[in-house]
Amino acid sequence: MSKTVWNVDTLHSEVQFKVKHLVISTITGSFTSFKGNAVTEQDQFENAKIAFTVDVNSVNTAQVARDEHLRSADFFDTVTYPEFTFNSSAFTKLNQNRYKLVGNLTAKGVTKLVELEAEYGGTERDSWGTLKVGFQVSGSINRKDFGITFNALTETGGLALSEKIDIIANIQLAKQSNIQ
C-alpha cells in the first residue's frame, strides 16, 4: 500500500499557547516558525505518523521584553534548546471529525508522552489544485513536567503564572507525494 506525505503549509497554519497570568487573565502567545509533516496510508489519516518541529526563538507574545525573557534560561533557554519537537505514536479516529493524537513532546531537553485532540476541519483543493487538509490540534501540558519552572509570587503569595499551558494549533497540510 502506498504512503502519502503531507507537509504543513506554514502560510496557512498557526501555533499558539495560552497561560493564566495572576489567575485573573490569559496571555496568548505564538510560535511563528515551525515545520512538520504527516505520512498516511494513501489519503487516510487514521494511524498517520506525524512529526512537528517548532523554532522556539520565534516565540511572540506581542511584548518584546516578555519574549526575550521567555527565550532566556528562566524559561525556554533557546541557546541550549532551540527547538520543541513532537513525534506521534498514535493518531486514532474517535468519530467522523475527531482524533486522539498521542506522541512524544520534547521541550527544553525533556521528552514526555502527551495526548492531544485533533479536530478534522475538511479537505479541499486550493487555487493551484493542491489537495489540502485542515486540523485544529488542542490540549494542555504542565510546563513543570518539561523543566520550565520559573515563577514569581504575587503580593498575596499566589503564583504569577499557571503551570498549565493550553496549546492550540490550526494546521493546514498540503499533499506532496506518494511513496512506496
CATH of the domain at 32: 2.40.128.110
Q: Residue 43 corresponds to which cell in the numbers above? A: 489519503
* Spatial separation of the C-alpha atoms in residues 33 and 9, rounded to whole Å: 11
Cα torsion angle, 108, 62, 103, 131, sign: negative
> What's the number of domains the chain is made of?
1
CB 171 within 8 A of CB 143: no
- The C-alpha cell 502560510 sits at 11
* Structural domain for 169, as ranges: 3-179
For every one of its 180 residues, what pLDDT tens digit does the chain have, with 9 covering 90 and above? 689 999 999 999 999 999 988 777 899 999 999 999 999 998 889 999 999 999 999 999 999 999 999 999 999 999 999 999 999 999 999 999 999 999 999 999 999 999 999 999 999 999 999 999 999 999 999 999 999 987 665 555 555 688 899 999 999 999 996 665
What nine digits make up the cell of 98?
475527531
Residue indicated by cell numbers 494511524: 47
Give the integer Cα–Cα distance in Å for 15 and 156: 33
Q: Which of 110, 114, 105 is nearest to 148 (CA)?
A: 110
pTM of full prediction above 0.75? yes
Residues present in the chain in total: 180
